Amino acid sequence: MTDLYPESFPDPVEEAFLRLVLAPDSAFRERWECWKRATVFDDIPFAVLRTLPMLHLRLAALGIEDDELTGRIRGVYRQAWFRNQMLLDRTAKIAVAFNAADIPVMLLKGVAMMTDVFPSAGARMTDDADLMVHERDVLKAVDLMRVQGGRRRALALAETDDFAEAHLAFSHAVAFELPGGVALDLHWQPYHNSAIDHPVRLLMLRDPSPAPDIASGIWARARHGHLKGVPVLLQSLEDMLLHTIEHGARANAHRPFRWVLDASAIIATPGFDFDRFAAIAASTPFAIHARVACRYLSERMDIAVPPAAMAALDAVPVSKPEVQDYYRTGRMGRPSLFGKLPLIWYAYWKTHRGGSLAGRLKNFPGYLRRQWELPPEQGLLAFAVAKYRRRLPQCLRPAGPRRR
């Protein structure tokens, strides 16, 4: 499996950029000159653009300031730093409110890495803040977010107060938009819920299978930290790496290759323990994620992974369905056939229990229109047919690894 990676892993252009940013000092200038010759700034893909702040930090540390390009890269860094400061300020205020309400709160992903992993708040473009609370505190936290001016952007649940039963069953987080356009995801589980990966089960209104209890271990291993002077909890470095790897393997609208830079920074943080990481990964459904990612970091990015840790990951049994799921979730540009329709259907029936069966069936098309945000003049049936006709050819391509 050493040469097999998901489609979501870096392509050759992205790899060249990553090897530049991660280059040892002795090799950096040569790779920098090579990358400059091959790059037109205005044509840089967005996925690469949002990682330019890390390149700026390498250039600044080595005192390289040789042309207009370094100035434009510095400008991207400054923009990221400014936007992140606004995000961190707003997140800190939410953390103050949670602490006052006696709700333990843990930082996840980008905002967490800015506290003790990255050398600067501008090192990483971060679109939103991710916070996690205990599942027992979710309803209390959702109410508090409303008090703070948060507007829920949760699919299929924005117009109902029956949050607990439906949303907790099929999701792992709820998205909020705060005043000023700040986005915040409130988690009760750190990892994606697999319900969306089983659309037929949702369409049959069968409750999703219970997710494994990973969160309790993460809470038990949590570290104490501060955000803008506000006490918060942070994942252990090992949990942070596994979380980064799992999210990085999933395809999304933007190529997610920046997980490599995140992982490199976490591994380099004092206190990180590879043996502990391997043991944690082996106790979760994400052993294959850790195994493939560590091989990639070692073989393609020259990041040292201890043989004992790699052997421990290789020894974890992984079933064929787990392998298939891993590569399927990493497919780029191939949405699921049903999209989010199963979630809308499931949530509608779970949150609209009153009235007759005929009445609920009659009202579903209007509910679906609102979820799809269709204008009054748009025909629902014509929209649905066109939507799924475009999607079908993309869904028929087989899932599988990408050879190197």
Residue 144 lies in a domain: yes
Average pLDDT over residues 332-339: 64
Q: How far is CA 32 from CA 58, 66, 258, 262, in A?
A: 10, 11, 18, 20
Select from 329, 350, 380 the last residue of a domain.
Answer: 329
Percent of the chain whose pLDDT exceeds 70: 88
Select from 309, 329, 349 the last residue of a domain.
Answer: 329
* Residues 283 and 398 both lie in one domain: no
189-195 long-range CB contacts below 8 Å, 24 or more apart?
Answer: 189/132, 189/135, 189/214, 189/215, 190/108, 190/132, 190/214, 190/215, 190/218, 190/235, 190/239, 190/243, 191/243, 191/246, 191/286, 192/246, 192/250, 195/169, 195/170, 195/171, 195/343
Residue 235: band (very low, low, confident or very high) from pLDDT cuts 50, 70, 90 = very high
Residue 117 is predicted with a pLDDT of: 95
* Residues 317 and 377 both lie in one domain: no
Q: Give CA–CA dist 296/298, Å, rounded.
A: 5
**Chain mean pLDDT for the chain:** 86
Select from 329, 354, 372 the last residue of a domain.
Answer: 329
Percent of the chain whose pLDDT exceeds 90: 51
The terminus-to-terminus CA distance of the chain in angstroms comes to 10
Higher pLDDT, 271 or 165: 271
pLDDT at 400 over 90: no
- Read off the pLDDT of residues 364-386 as tens digits, 9 standing for 90 and up: 898 888 878 788 888 888 888 88
Residue 334 lies in a domain: no
Residue 86 lies in a domain: yes
Residue 156 is predicted with a pLDDT of: 46
CATH number at residue 153: 3.30.460.40
* Residues 317 and 350 both lie in one domain: no
Q: Which residues pair with 186 in a beta bridge?
A: 131, 174
Domain limits for position 364: 341-403
Residue ranges of alpha helices (H) inside 250-404 are: 259-267, 274-282, 287-301, 307-314, 320-329, 341-351, 357-372, 380-395
Q: Are 255 and 8 in contact (CB under 8 A)?
A: yes
**How many distinct structural domains can be found in the chain?**
2
* Residues 208 and 325 both lie in one domain: yes
Q: Are 266 and 240 in contact (CB under 8 A)?
A: yes
Q: Give CA–CA dist 120/114, Å, rounded.
A: 7
* Residues 305 and 358 both lie in one domain: no
Residue 165 is predicted with a pLDDT of: 60
Q: Which residues pair with 131 in a beta bridge?
A: 107, 186
* Residues 317 and 353 both lie in one domain: no
* Residues 258 and 298 both lie in one domain: yes
Residue 90 lies in a domain: yes
Average pLDDT over residues 105-111: 96
* Residues 322 and 346 both lie in one domain: no
Residue 20 lies in a domain: yes
DSSP letter at 210?
P
Residue 333 is predicted with a pLDDT of: 57
Q: Mapping DSSP to helix (H, G, I), strand (E, B) and coil, where does residue 184 land?
A: strand
Residue 403 is predicted with a pLDDT of: 46
Q: Are 265 and 118 in contact (CB under 8 A)?
A: yes
Q: Give CA–CA dist 149/165, Å, rounded.
A: 23
Residue 303 lies in a domain: yes
- Read off the pLDDT of residues 275-331 as tens digits, 9 standing for 90 and up: 999 999 999 999 999 999 999 999 999 999 999 999 999 999 998 888 888 888 877
* Residues 76 and 204 both lie in one domain: yes
Using alpha carbons only, give the angle 162, 198, 369 rounded to the nearest 5 degrees.
50
* Residues 190 and 251 both lie in one domain: yes
Residue 336: band (very low, low, confident or very high) from pLDDT cuts 50, 70, 90 = low
User: What token pair was written down for 389?
Assistant: 């006709």
Q: How far is CA 262 from CA 139, 275, 368, in A?
A: 31, 19, 38
Residue 2: band (very low, low, confident or very high) from pLDDT cuts 50, 70, 90 = very low
Return the number of other C-beta atoms located less than 10 Å from residue 102's C-beta. 8
Name 98's Cβ contacts closer than 8 Å, sequence gap at least 6. 104, 105, 131, 133, 141, 144
Average pLDDT over residues 355-360: 84
Nearest by Cα to 104 from 293, 245, 264, 233? 233
* Residues 146 and 266 both lie in one domain: yes
- Read off the pLDDT of residues 3-27 as tens digits, 9 standing for 90 and up: 488 888 998 999 999 999 999 999 9
Residue 336 lies in a domain: no
This prediction's pTM: 0.86
Residue 359 is predicted with a pLDDT of: 86
CA neighbours within 13 Å on the CB side: how many for 344?
A: 15
* Residues 88 and 180 both lie in one domain: yes
Radius of gyration from C-alpha coordinates of the chain:
22
Residue 59 lies in a domain: yes
